[in-house]
Amino acid sequence: MQLIPVIDLKGKKAVRAVRGERANYRPWNLPGCGDGDPVEALRLYRAIHPFPQVYIADLDAIAGGEANDDVLARLRDAEPDVALIVDNGINDEAAARRWLAQGLGRLVIGAENHPPAGLARELGTFLSLDYRGDDFIGPEGLDRQPALWPDDIIVMTLARVGSGEGPDMAKLQAVRRAKPGARVYAAGGVRGVDDLRALAGIGVAGALVATAVLSGAITSEEIANLPAWRPSA
């Protein structure tokens, strides 16, 4: 399975996400990344483990503000062998195709920005099914229409991000059952390698993680020895 580190961008800085309360996010304050410089944040992850891809949440763009495409270009140029997976609030086809044409990375269509229900499937992008608590945030019924989902699905439980409460196994299992064979990624609450093994056991393809990697709760050796993804699990 894949472990994908996360960088949340706000005001051109890498910020620490906690429980989806974006107004309270503050820049990273870690050795090697004391002022939240996004390139330093990416290199800090790469010093821990040679991650081949990183998930970027452009929080300014998601909130309707100016996109941080210049920061994405810096990240791409600084570490060209790292694939960027980017959620930036895009919710229409024309804007998505314009953004993809820049070659900045793979696009995530986030349900919270209420895109047309089948847009992610049509474009072949990631789809983020976004939840706050038990409430789905997105187009009415999209969370119950697997025929409209693409092959790569992120189950984003915002209230668990940075919480250390553990992944929402029930939601992940429900999405896995609804679309067998899809690559489902957990986002929110991962505490350590035991959670990753539990996720692998229910057929989850990967997890988006920040705190557990940066704190050392998940080591590079553990990442290298994660179980293989079994889509039939």
Contact between 163 and 170 under an 8 Å Cβ cutoff? The reply is no
- Domain spans of the chain? 2-224
**Which CATH number describes the domain made up of 2-224?**
3.20.20.70
Taking the alpha carbons at both ends of the chain, their separation in whole angstroms is 12
Q: What is the pLDDT of residues 14-56, one digit of tens each?
A: 987 666 566 667 777 777 777 899 999 999 999 999 999 999 9
**Using the 8-state DSSP alphabet, how is residue 24 labeled?**
G
Q: What is the pLDDT of residues 201-227, one digit of tens each?
A: 999 999 999 989 999 999 999 999 998
Contact between 63 and 82 under an 8 Å Cβ cutoff? The reply is no
Neighbouring C-beta atoms of residue 165, cutoff 10 Å: 15
Could you give the CA distance from residue 18 to residue 96 in angstroms, rounded to a whole number? 28
Could you give the CA distance from residue 218 to residue 221 in angstroms, rounded to a whole number? 8
This model's pTM is above 0.75? yes
Ramachandran region of residue 63, left (φ > 0), alpha (ψ -120 to 50) or beta? alpha
